[in-house]
Chain A
Amino acid sequence: MNEEKYMNPYLAGVLLGLLLLLTIYITGRGLGASGAIKSFTVAAVESVAPFHTANTKFYQEYKNEHKESSPLKNWLVFEVIGVLIGAFLSGIYSNRLNFKLEKGPQSTTNKRIIAAFIGGMLWGIGAQLGRGCTSGAALSGMAVMSTGGILTMFAIFGGAYAVAYFFRKLWI
């Protein structure tokens, strides 16, 4: 069986926009992703080294901002678990479920693995500084016209375009 074609991007965009609007209407906040990764990281460090988290500034500030009993009792954590399931169901529906490592035609598997890891790492750091990633800062920020969110959005795309040429061998 062949993979199904992707949805029309404008239709997907309108649906995503309406979902974001509904999210803001119901919860008063936007969508997100990197916040959940932060919560998972904090939870992991907390369970491995509770003494360390109790005495380190970052985790203390996190605790002050998030009053819930556990870092995993977090809106974005529940949302991201949903994302995993939603994407998985969509993958089944459209026959796209298989283990695969994707890379540019001139790239090698090793290169791709290293670049993916570094890329993830940069996002981990950048999303903390930007107080959100493409979903939490750029997209949701645009929906409410937040200055910070829109600046971050332009910086993400600007940063990517600025270095795209130098790393073109990874992709084309």
Chain B
Amino acid sequence: MGPLVPDIVSNNLNYFVAFIIGILFGAILEQAGFSTSKKLVGLFYGYDFTVLRVFFTAGITAMVGVMGFSYFGLLDINLVYINPTFLWSAIVGGLIMGVGFIFGGFCPGTSICAAAIGKIDAMIFVAGSFLGVLIFAEGYPLFESLYKAANLGNPRMFETLNMTQNLFAAIMVIIALVAFYFTSIIEKKVNKEEVVFFRFNKQSILMTAFGVLLVVSSMVFTDGKAYLLRLVEDENFVKKYPVEEVDVDELAYLLTCVNCERLQIIDFRSEEEYKKFTLPKSTLFTLDNLFEKEPSSFLRIKNNRYVFVAKDEITERKMAIIATKLGLKRIRILRGGLEEFVKSIMNFDPVKDPKNIDEINMNRFRSQVKIELEKMIKENKPAGPVQKKQKRALGGC
């Protein structure tokens, strides 16, 4: 599961990766024509919309790609850098940059490309941008209150607008496609070329097909977490869903058995409850852990068999359904939940005057296992919650 840094790609190798990515970035920008200011500002005067096309095609491709990667479990979005939102600073900064765009004819990335192929205006622009940073640094006390005002954390636009990720993505993709179409007509009019509404050639058809693919993908790649949470809201569905169960006696047996299968109990209660009563071989988990890279890998250990426990069976079922849908295997739940387990095993009261062999056996087994378990629980130290070892990647400028 991505991001590959720092597990698969080390932090030092990451600098080399940065270098390679930079080469490709620079080459693509240059090939697209971003190394000339006249082409870049064309967008604002209607004679050349290349920037809009490249920028928004890249934006929606990457956006839908990120959705697809998280949908297929390739990327843990919780570890990806989400640019923070400082409302006023973001807007004022953007406006200043916009004015700078008209004056300078570049943005920082494109100025570096243009300078690399010898554009003198770009070199002057780069020099100006160093001075700009210096002004900000030295005048920081002046900017600071604006810079840090209205810190909204790291929200994502669909959360801010209170819509589903899919709806927002689809809107963005459709806006981009509509903009591509109309700007191409504006561009032709400004340049006094013949306006053709659609050309039936291979290229146009291919581009249209890709556009349709992006629209469809933006609707298909649901935010896995939101979808699964909605799925388990329906109690009837949860009750009917086939989940493998173990009963209290079986669990008690498995816990005390030395040569049995490798058992791992995943406890979904609160930390407080967990500390009060901790089964041996158990680990505290939260719903969020199931979706996270590091904790969920704990549930993928080969040959381990897992029993999900919670206070009640319905919570166990919900968690087990989510885990199964996420592709985790060998998961069972405890019938009746821990409430039942505590009542029937830990607080077992032998049946007085057992009437048949079953009751005699039950008395014998439960009394014995209770003593054993009590001993194990005493010796066992609670493992505590799974620590999130990884932090979000740091990014931004």
Q: Which residues of A contact B (CB under 8 A)?
A: 6-10, 12-35, 37-38, 40-42, 44-45, 56-59, 65, 73, 75-76, 78-91, 94, 96-104, 112-113, 115-164, 167-168, 170-172
Contacts and interface: CB of A to CB of B under 8 A. Distances in A.
Contacts of B188: none
Contact of B97 (A86, A126, A139): A126
Contacts of A79: 18-19, 21-22, 25
Contact of B116 (A24, A29, A32, A84): A84
B126 to A, nearest CB: 6
B96 interface: yes
Contacts of A25: 2-4, 69, 74-75
B212 interface: no
A24 B93 CA distance: 24
A1 to B, nearest CB: 15
Contacts of B91: 151-152, 155
Contacts of A35: 396-397
B45 A31 contact: no
B26 A148 contact: no
Interface stretch (B102-110, B240-248, B374-382): B102-110
Contact of B63 (A89, A136, A142): A142
A106 B35 CA distance: 21
Given A33-B108, A121-B100, A127-B132, 14 more contacts: A12-B54, A13-B56, A34-B129, A41-B133, A41-B134, A56-B137, A76-B397, A78-B18, A82-B20, A119-B128, A122-B104, A145-B165, A146-B83, A159-B95
Contact of A163 (B102, B147, B165): B102
A31 B26 CA distance: 11
B90 interface: yes
Nearest to B88: A129
A160 B19 CA distance: 31
Interface residues of B, number: 138
Contact of B396 (A26, A115, A132): A132
Contacts of B137: 41-42, 45, 56, 58-59
A124 B132 contact: yes
Given A79-B19, A151-B94, A8 B203 contact: yes
B384 interface: no
A31 B25 contact: yes
B306 interface: no
B69 A171 contact: no
Contacts, number: 556
B394 interface: yes
A133 B120 contact: no
B327 interface: no
Nearest to B151: A148
B131 A124 contact: yes
24 contacts: A10-B54, A10-B180, A13-B55, A16-B58, A27-B14, A28-B2, A29-B396, A33-B107, A37-B130, A75-B14, A75-B15, A75-B18, A86-B30, A90-B27, A90-B31, A102-B37, A115-B105, A129-B90, A129-B92, A134-B109, A148-B84, A149-B90, A159-B94, A162-B98
Contact of B104 (A22, A33, A123, A158): A123
A82 B3 contact: no
B234 to A, nearest CB: 28
Contacts of B100: 118-123, 126
A145 B102 contact: no
Nearest to A57: B140
B35 A91 contact: yes
Contacts of B15: 73, 75, 78
Contacts of A112: 121
Contacts of B98: 126, 155-163
A117 B87 contact: no
Contact of A171 (B25, B45, B108, B124): B45
Contacts of A80: 22, 112
B117 A24 contact: no
